[in-house]
Amino acid sequence: MDARYPIPRKYKGRSRVTNGKTLLAGMDGRTKWAKRLHDLVANHVADLGGPSNVTQSQFILIKSAANATIVLEQWELQFAKASTASLPELLAYLSVLNSLRRTFETLGLGRVDPPRNTAPILDMSQLTSTEQQRFKLLSHKADEVGVHGLSESNLQELQTLVAKATGRGVGPSSNDAAYRERPVHEIDYSRR
């Protein structure tokens, strides 16, 4: 077998399940089961940080867990309507519930927040017009040649401008080590 197998197919050559058009092959997406399955899968994927954070293996486990949840919900409704449950029905219910618990433990029971944008928010009003022009020039140059392609002086100047635009690196503690080692409530910030 070739190391490149399986060869990825083009979008139109893949199945509806692979393309995300349906969750189960051959199932009408308008049934109650399909709607509930879609809702459960979407909620579980969101709990794990969104589609970009869920692997294919996790997705298969999520889909299986959602189906098991629907089965359990139907049994619960049946038990509530009958006001009783036979021992075999109860044992089957508990067996599916235990399998669902193990699946959730494998997936992780905690909610995962999606990755946040950690890019600094720049307030260009903190810079003078000359600094703003210099920032635009240096950032354009960094986009062209990369940050590592900048000279050391240009890189240091760009870092200083970014620090000033984000509001960091301003005040006595940014320049003087003696201020950095003092408790925050003792630092006099009036000497800006």
d(CA 163, CA 159): 6
Model pTM score: 0.54
The pLDDT value given to residue 1? 46
pLDDT per position as a tens digit, 119-158: 667 778 888 889 889 988 988 888 888 878 888 888 888 8
End-to-end CA distance of the chain: 69
Q: Average the pLDDT over 84-104 and give the result.
A: 93
Does pLDDT of 118 surpass 80? no
- The tokens describing 114, both together, are 């999606």
Interval 52-57 mean pLDDT: 88
pLDDT confidence bin for 190, thresholds 50/70/90 = low
- Ramachandran sector of residue 6 (left: φ over 0; alpha: ψ -120 to 50; beta: rest): beta
